[in-house]
Amino acid sequence: MKNKILIYGRFAIATAVLVLCGLAFYRHTYPLKIFDVQWTAALQSGLVSGFGLGLILFAALIVITLLFGRIYCSTLCPLGLYQELLTILFKPFYKKRKGAREPMKHYVFAYLLAAVLFGFLCGGTVVLLRMLDPYSVAGNALSGACFGLGFAIALAVLVFFKKRFFCTNICPVGAVLGLISRFSLFKIRIDNDKCKMCSLCARSCPCGSIDFKNHTVNNETCVKCFKCLNHCGHGALYYGLPKSKPAKFSLKRRQLLTSGAVLVLFGAAFKGGIELSKKIAAKVKNVILPAGSSSPKEFANRCLNCNLCVKNCPMKIIKKATADTPFVHLDYGDAYCDFNCHKCSDVCPSGAIKRISLKEKQNIKIANAVIDENVCIKCGICAFKCPKKIIIKLEGEFPIIQFDKCIGCGKCASVCPVKAIKIEPTQKQTLTLGE
């Protein structure tokens, strides 16, 4: 009964997360900010905003992992849930593979990779981490971006042959959670007296974490899907505290060498992140960003490219990353920024777009509107349509834009019948003087 509660409870939470992901990306509705509790998004938000909600959520994820192990990977991670769906889809093919499954080898590569990627993040830029971060990749795929779709296809092939190999040996978030899980209180454990060595638990484990021959479970790679509990007919497996006093933890020579290498790589990556963030910032030019993004230079190093803001923008002016602009940005080609909307600020989980009120958004200068008098026909439509009413139009005269009050929403340019108004980017977002 206890095992069934764990299995069905985890399944219910995972299903709810999948539903919320779909609502966030495809129904412009965000009833529960599920992406705020994504590991990298919470960490990035904490680094950007200091002590606040992001840091609290990140600390909560660490505490949860210390208590229950890598439960995050099987309940909250969109990419983890995608892989679980794939394992269900590929189940008929797995059954054809005969023989008891040997435990999956756990490589130190994941730790070294995580040290490099998180080192660069702490150094000031997320551009490398977002290439492998499970949330960033999942958002890319859900939004239909080419990189995300390509990654999803490649991952499906990997799952077909190696099940959750990505989670155990590649994922940088999984590597960190795995290290924390070493010290978790609740773990999958094997009762040696009850185990019949039937290998059913090992066959069902998608991570290859169970060594049934030696009665051990690698809780560092175990993602707590609890499938093994459902397959053991002898009650030999359980999830909980140890029944006897656990052996003292001691580092072996190989682990000491790995730990040293990880620290060295993290330090080098941290320094490299500082330099790379400066280089990226120097290349950012002529880009308009959502209100709350501070400056293009900072945004380029903070945006996770999850595309949640892209999918939730009602005006469809937030565009996906391109070769010229490798992060989300505004494009006023077909529309403008709605004066009464700040949806992008509301949904961004990483702090790249800061959480601001609608009133704040309505007074943040994100660009400048400029009138070309050689093209302007003095119709005055721009003055009539300006949401802030800061365009002055006198009889027979050219319209005059009050530069210190213009926020660069682009509506005047959108309604201009002769396209006489251009919207030019600003190098740093500032508060206007108001109405």
Residue-by-residue DSSP string for 183-233: T-SSEEEE-TTT-----HHHHH-TT--EETTTTEE-TTT-----HHHHH-S
What are the structural domains of the chain?
2-240 (no CATH), 296-431 (3.30.70.20)
pLDDT at 62: 96
pLDDT at 210: 92
How far is the C-alpha of 226 from the C-alpha of 205, rounded, in Å?
9
Whether 292 and 353 have beta carbons less than 8 Å apart is answered as yes
The two tokens of residue 255 are: 């682990």
Whether 172 and 118 have beta carbons less than 8 Å apart is answered as yes
How far is the C-alpha of 127 from the C-alpha of 117, rounded, in Å?
9
pLDDT at 188: 93
- Classified as helix, coil or strand, 325 is coil
**H-type helices in 284-422, by residue range?**
296-302, 308-312, 343-347, 358-361, 381-385, 411-415
pTM, rounded to two decimals = 0.88
pLDDT at 1: 64
Low-confidence ranges of the chain (pLDDT < 50): 435
Whether 152 and 141 have beta carbons less than 8 Å apart is answered as yes
Strand partners, 421: 371
Helices 109-123 + 172-181 axis angle, to 10:
110
